[in-house]
Amino acid sequence: MHSFRSVFMTQSRLPESTTVLPNSVFGLLAALSLFWGFNWPVMKIVLSEMAPLHFRAWCLGMSAIGLFALARYNGFQVRVPRHEWRPLVLIAIFNQAAWNILAVHSIEMMDSGRAAILGYTMPIWGMLLGFWVLKEQVTRRKLFGLALGVAGILLLLAGEINAVGRSPLGAMLMVLAAMSWAVGLVMIKRWPLGLPLISFSAWQMAIAFVPIWLGAVLIESGSFSLLTLSFWPLSGVIYNVIFPFIFCNWAWMKIVTLAPMGVSSLSTLMVPVIGVFSGMLVLGERPGWNDYAALLLVCASLGTVLFPIKTSK
């Protein structure tokens, strides 16, 4: 049985061409999809009472503190070697700061399900950048999985095209957020750092916190106090800190370092499907035939990438 410490060990990597993934990756994918997917309607609830940059500053600041505390408690390296500061800052800007700023403003302008669909066009940009920058192998299986995933996203989007058209700025911001996330993902693969995953995630959040907190102070009005929130928005902030930020950001870094770019990118395609259906559950929307068809396409997309492949214990 693996100890807590072994789970948070340094960023051990498998070769990009490998078809062998640890069994733990599948559990992480399931938890990641569930927590990130359910978070889209949760964010919508929080933003009904809290300014976007205030919300993200709280999430990043508290999550960084929590991850640093866990790293210290378990004796992990926290200090960043001098030569790793530049890539770390660049990764944090694209993978955390730009994503959070763009996405949180976009979701204010759109329904949570539609925002999730556009946000998770990231696998398209991630797959293309992986082929171009990382020189990953282009296989028929990856291309077929990409095509199925894109078809599922487009099918979900087709029924909402008029709604997206009424909010072109929101749609543009979310696509830019997806592209920024993909660039950050490529940087992580291109410039592997020696920090333990938990410290790596903590530093990304701490670095991203600075510009977002400054933006909240200088641009937005309102109090940083969480006591001004009603029960559900406050619960949403707490949920964001514990699950989407602390757990999911660590889990995502773990998946990125273990899996090739194509697999890690396409694995996120389940998130917008859960985002759409959880939005229906929480916000009272009703699924149509295209929602169910998209779910099948995305599941098929994941299957072409993850199965059949050999697993190791």
| Each residue's pLDDT tens digit, 156-200 | 777 666 565 556 788 889 889 989 998 998 898 888 888 998 999
| Each residue's pLDDT tens digit, 111-142 | 787 788 788 777 778 777 877 777 777 778 77
The residue among 82 and 17 whose pLDDT is bigger is: 82
Q: Which pLDDT does position 19 carry in this prediction?
A: 47
* Mean pLDDT, all residues of the chain: 82
Secondary structure, 3-state, the chain = CCCHHHHCCECCCCCCCCCCEEHHHHHHHHHHHHHHHHHHHHHHHHHCCCCHHHHHHHHHHHHHHHHHHHHHHCCCCCCCCHHHHHHHHHHHHHHHHHHHHHHHHHHHHCCHHHHHHHHCCHHHHHHHHHHHCCCCCCCHHHHHHHHHHHHHHHHHHHCCHHHHHCCHHHHHHHHHHHHHHHHHHHHHHHCCCCCEHHHHHHHHHHHHHHHHHHHHHHHCCCCCCHHHCCHHHHHHHHHHHHHHHHHHHHHHHHHHHHCCHHHHHHHHHHHHHHHHHHHHHHHCCCCCHHHHHHHHHHHHHHHHHHCCCCEEC
On whether the pTM is more than 0.75, the answer is yes
Q: Which pLDDT does position 304 carry in this prediction?
A: 72
Q: Which pLDDT does position 160 carry in this prediction?
A: 60
| Each residue's pLDDT tens digit, 207-249 | 999 999 999 999 998 888 999 999 999 999 999 999 999 999 8
| Each residue's pLDDT tens digit, 56-102 | 999 999 999 999 999 999 999 999 999 999 999 999 999 999 999 99
